[in-house]
Structure 1
Amino acid sequence: MTNTFKEKETVQLLQRLVEIPSPSGYTNEIMQFMATILDDIQVPYIKTNKGALIATIEGKDKSNHRLLTAHTDTLGAMVKEIKASGRLKLSMIGGFNWNSVEGEYCHIHTASGKKVRGTILMHQTTVHVYKNAGSAERNIENIEVRLDEKVMNADDTLKLGIEVGDFVSFDPRFEQTESGFIKSRHLDDKASTALLLRLLASINENNLILPNTTHFYISNNEEIGYGGNSNIPAEVVEYIAVDMGAIGDGQTSDEYTVSICAKDSSGPYHYELTRKLVALAKEQNIDYKLDIYPFYGSDASAAIRAGFDVKHALFGPGIEASHAFERTHIDSLKNTAALLEAYVLSPMETK
């Protein structure tokens, strides 16, 4: 296997990706950026009606195809209500806890294209006024957006062009430390998206010949459950979701290895395909961990629920504090990139 991982290019691309706002349902800009990259590296692709992109690299075997997917959509929110004070009540997009976004800076994306800055706060934030500032429940009733505009009432906010249904994106706060950590919101799943794009570039730069025709599915609705459950070519036999490994008590995943998922909330992943990934990791001396994620679903499991007859598996970089203040390490990106390359270069076992 060739060692084609380029750290600087990968991290720069990842930073660019997380800095493009793309909560589920508001992904036009990020998908246009994806299309530009695919155009630049001259990889053919199609655009689905849902806005996803499917790039294809032809391989020696044109009958038995593979598909790898990562998603660009992220957590976010929508304006649920404009309060009498002019502040905003939010409705969640994706699964997270309100305390994970308390204090975060944000953008409100109006229908006219104007972006308004704000901060997500508890209504009872001021400790000099509210006795229960620390104990009040972090919920939809108490969390609000304080706008960085002179607004005294709901009419003032409406005059800014803000209305119910406008999208709200959270600042990523990207940072790479000297010790190799990468901290940012939205590493789920833009870390994996960056790795797929860099793999595509590497295939072209190094004139790599794939044993099987391989599709790269960049989905844009995974956080709401149906990103990669359609438009799967009939020839696809193996479907790989490249998504984060979840870290916490009782988990084996960490921030330094590639995490291979044996089972999540949807049930076990395809046993033989999962074991093949483990065998490849062992053969190539790739640091990996096998894990089970109890409260997790992927585009691969969505494809299975949609009725596609494919072998499905899941692996990706280990992400600390998922759906909150996320962090990973460059070693995890390297190991995931290595397993991706080993997988696409290994012939598919067909019966």
Structure 2
Amino acid sequence: MTYPNTDETVRLIKSLVEIPSPSGNTNEVITFVENFLKEYRVETKRNHKGGLIASLPGQNEQNHRMLTAHVDTLGAMVKEIKPSGRLKLDLIGGFKFNSIEGEYCEIATSSGKKYRGTILMHQTSVHVYKDADKAERNQDNMEVRIDEKVLNADDVKALGIEVGDFVSFDPRVEYTSSGFIKSRHLDDKASVAILLQLIKQIVLEKIQLPYTTHFLISNNEEIGYGGNSNIPTQTVEYLAVDMGAIGDGQSTDEYTVSICVKDASGPYHLGLRNKLVKLANDNGIAYKLDIYPYYGSDASAAIRSGHDIIHGLVGPGIDSSHAFERTHRDSIENTAKLLYHYVQSEMME
């Protein structure tokens, strides 16, 4: 038995996180995924929302499976061009301003031009602002300093920058000799890379799947509705592959696959959870069961939208979610192993 190559998965994660893709501006990264799958002659189609669906035939064409991971990330939009030539931001996704303070960023204009900048407190200079450490990190105080010669709002507009332009954050990806992957946007590009590697292995090794299986690479998960549509009516089991959240009171860590039993939407399907646990135990896969109190997934979005499916959620454990994220290759590997066995397993009776 061979599993997807973890080193290749890590390289793919690095490629994915380096492509800017805040929710609402994901065409470039979807094209990257599309081209990756095209190399292995996998049938794909885009939905009207801009997500990508890859389908692999199975022995049973009456009952289908669907797995999903999302390529959209946290980001921002230009809210206002200030008289000073700095930019006020409006956030995309659920995170705090303090998590992006000091971050390098890219402003993408509607005409296709891109400009560099840094996200800073207005009151950053301690030589000027006595109470710089006490100022609140919020929309009024945080701004983008553009790396262009701009002295006022008119100078900024002359560059082609307008309200509504997307702002993406530099990932600063690093793979350490100890096996840690540090980067923004591991949520959820780590899981996307795992699914792509799984599809590649299924195709190259001509693995016969028991059920026709669809892989949705969604592009609106961070704003709540990436995986709530385009689910074939034959779908019985729907598994979201997303990050496991780490923190006080959590059992998830950076070395195992996290199996979610409940999040803010409520419990996940008990039968599917028990099946995933059995697959892990039977195949020597390290896992943790956990509850994420402030979390929602594409699977929970699908349930909310009224789909009659069995839903579940698994993924690698990610430290410092929605900020300076980190995981370990062991967690990537254990997640990949569980998914490898899951797609070849029989459905629940």
- Give the whole-Å Cα distance in 2 for the aligned partners of 1:46 and 1:147: 38
- Give the whole-Å Cα distance in 2 for the aligned partners of 1:139 and 1:75: 16
Q: Counterpart in 1 of 2:22?
A: 23
- Give the whole-Å Cα distance in 2 for the aligned partners of 1:178 and 1:134: 35
Aligned residues: percent identity? 67
Report the alpha carbon displacement of residue 47 of structure 1 after superposing the two structures with TM: 1.0
- Give the whole-Å Cα distance in 2 for the aligned partners of 1:131 and 1:314: 48
Q: What SS is found at the alignment partner of 1:60?
A: strand
Which residues of 2 match residues 139-218 of structure 1 at below 5 A? Answer: 139-218=138-217
Report the alpha carbon displacement of residue 349 of structure 1 after superposing the two structures with TM: 2.4
Report the alpha carbon displacement of residue 3 of structure 1 after superposing the two structures with TM: 2.3
Q: Counterpart in 1 of 2:327?
A: 328
1:82 and 2:62 correspond:
no
- Give the whole-Å Cα distance in 1 for the aligned partners of 2:30 and 2:131: 43
Q: Counterpart in 1 of 2:291?
A: 292
Q: Counterpart in 2 of 1:263?
A: 262
Instruction: Spell out, residue by residue over 1:314-349, the C-alpha distance to the aligned partner (whole angstroms, 9 max, x if none).
Output: 000000000000000000000000000010011112
Q: Counterpart in 1 of 2:7?
A: 8
- Give runs of ≥4 in structure 1 deviating > 6 Å: none
- Give the whole-Å Cα distance in 2 for the aligned partners of 1:65 and 1:259: 24
- Give the whole-Å Cα distance in 2 for the aligned partners of 1:157 and 1:260: 47
Instruction: Spell out, residue by residue over 1:84-129, the C-alpha distance to the aligned partner (whole angstroms, 9 max, x if none).
Output: 0000000000000101000000000011111000000000000111
Report the alpha carbon displacement of residue 46 of structure 1 after superposing the two structures with TM: 1.6
Q: Counterpart in 2 of 1:343?
A: 342
Report the alpha carbon displacement of residue 131 of structure 1 after superposing the two structures with TM: 1.2
Query: Is the 8 Å Cα contact of residues 23 and 75 (structure 2) preserved in structure 1?
Result: yes
Q: What SS is found at the alignment partner of 2:58?
A: coil
Report the alpha carbon displacement of residue 154 of structure 1 after superposing the two structures with TM: 0.5
Q: What code does the residue aligned with 1:75 have?
A: L
RMSD: 0.6
Query: Is the 8 Å Cα contact of residues 63 and 235 (structure 2) preserved in structure 1?
Result: yes
- Give the whole-Å Cα distance in 1 for the aligned partners of 2:317 and 2:10: 16
Report the alpha carbon displacement of residue 12 of structure 1 after superposing the two structures with TM: 1.0
How many residues are matched? Answer: 349
Instruction: Spell out, residue by residue over 1:214-252, the C-alpha distance to the aligned partner (whole angstroms, 9 max, x if none).
Output: 100000000000001001000000000000000000000
- What TM-score does the superposition give when structure 2 sets the normalisation length? 0.99
- Give the whole-Å Cα distance in 1 for the aligned partners of 2:153 and 2:119: 17
Instruction: Spell out, residue by residue over 1:105-159, the C-alpha distance to the aligned partner (whole angstroms, 9 max, x if none).
Output: 0000011111000000000000111111111000000000001011110011111
Query: Is the 8 Å Cα contact of residues 75 and 93 (structure 2) preserved in structure 1?
Result: yes
Instruction: Spell out, residue by residue over 1:146-202, the C-alpha distance to the aligned partner (whole angstroms, 9 max, x if none).
Output: 010111100111111100000000000000000000000000000000000000000
- Give the whole-Å Cα distance in 2 for the aligned partners of 1:42 and 1:135: 56
